[in-house]
Amino acid sequence: MEKHNNGNSPGTLYVVGTGPGSELYMTGAAAKALETAETIIGYKTYLDLIPSFLTKEKEVISSQMMKEVDRCRESLTIADSGKKVALVCGGDPGIYAMAGLVYELARENDYSCAIEIIAGLAAINSCAARLGAPLMHDFAAVSLSDLLTPWELIEKRLRAVAAADFVTAIYNPKSKKRTEQIVKTREIFLEHREPKTPVGIVTAATRENEKIAITTLDNMLDNEITMQSTVIIGNSQSYTWNDLIITPRGYRGKYSL
């Protein structure tokens, strides 16, 4: 077993979800972990969203995008040396973020620091609230990034949830280089749902540059979709009202509304 901690008692790694962006949507537990930490590590965009009083007079390590493995390894190494470290994730560390990778690295390399996952509001929570109530029935989340997952599996999953009428949240819909997956996704859903099915596109939820578009499956590609967007496709019962998307739970059939 490789030694990482140079004889010190190992410390703690907090994997902290800071939510969608605005400080208002951070939990008390996340703020407390950042306050407790001696070292704060994260991707620059997310670090910049943390209120400065939580980071001042601390070691702050800003990491590049795409360097997730390095970032997690560095966090574990510093925590193993005896420090309290906060690894910052936008959204929820447990949803398409760093929680899993931290555990995978800890397991493969026998790190012995304590690891605590602090949940945060994921895009699925914050974008849904900005759109009205689109997720109110069974839903699925699918990432279109084929960097770590073969497209065949992504397509299989899209077909399954499209056919079974799940409200579907599309993560990582598009990047500069990766533009065709969202086109294909729309085609798959059109095989199972009406062209007028409501679609919401939320970019940079709760941040200064937030953009919200309410559109349809038919017209969704006429709207700007970026790396920071989450796309929510309604189910067969979803409708729009006052620029909101509402998916009924089924009360109307059972109660007089």
Of 87-146, binders to a second copy (CB under 8 A) are 92-96, 99-105, 107-109, 117-122, 125-126, 128-129, 132-143
Q: Is 248 helix (H, G, I), strand (E, B) or coil?
A: coil
Cα separation, 82 vs 10, whole angstroms: 4
Which lies closer to a second copy via its Cβ, residue 7 or residue 254? 254
* Residue from 45, 151, 156, 243 binding a second copy (CB under 8 A): 156
Describe the crossing of helices 180-190 and 151-163 by its angle, rounded to 10 degrees: 30
Q: Reading across the β-sheet that carries 239-241, which strands appear in turn?
A: 132-133, 244-246, 239-241
Contacting range for a second copy; rule: CB under 8 A; set: 55-63, 81-89, 157-165, 221-229: 157-165
Residue 115, CB half-sphere, CA atoms under 13 Å: how many?
Answer: 22
Alpha-carbon gap, residue 60 to 92, rounded angstroms: 20
11, 14, 19, 46: residue in contact with a second copy (rule CB under 8 A): 19
- Rule CB under 8 A: say whether 244 interacts with a second copy: yes
CB 61 to a second copy: min, Å: 20
65 binds a second copy (CB under 8 A): no
- Cβ of residue 222: shortest distance to a second copy, in angstroms? 26
Task: Please identify, using beta-carbon distances, which residue of 7 and 255 lies nearer to a second copy.
Answer: 255
Minimal distance, residue 115 CB to a second copy, in Å: 9
| Residues binding a second copy: number (CB under 8 A) | 78
Asked if 2 touches a second copy (CB under 8 A), the answer is no
Q: 14: closest CA among 96, 100, 93, 117? A: 117
Residue 131 identity: L
145 vs 214: CA distance, rounded Å: 23
Closer of 89 and 225 to a second copy (Cβ): 89
Q: How far is the CB of 72 from a second copy (least distance, A)?
A: 9
Cα 247 off chain centre by: 22
Q: Which is nearer to a second copy, 106 or 217 (CB)?
A: 106
- Smallest separation (angstroms) from a second copy to the CB of 9: 18
Q: Which of 127, 119, 130 is closest to 18 using CA atoms?
A: 119
Interface with a second copy in residues 27-46 (CB under 8 A): 27-29, 32
Q: Per CB under 8 A, which of residues 170..229 are in contact with a second copy?
A: none
- Nearest-approach distance from CB 199 to a second copy, in angstroms: 16
Cα separation of 126 and 228, whole Å?
13
Closest-CA residue to 11 (of 50, 39, 34): 39
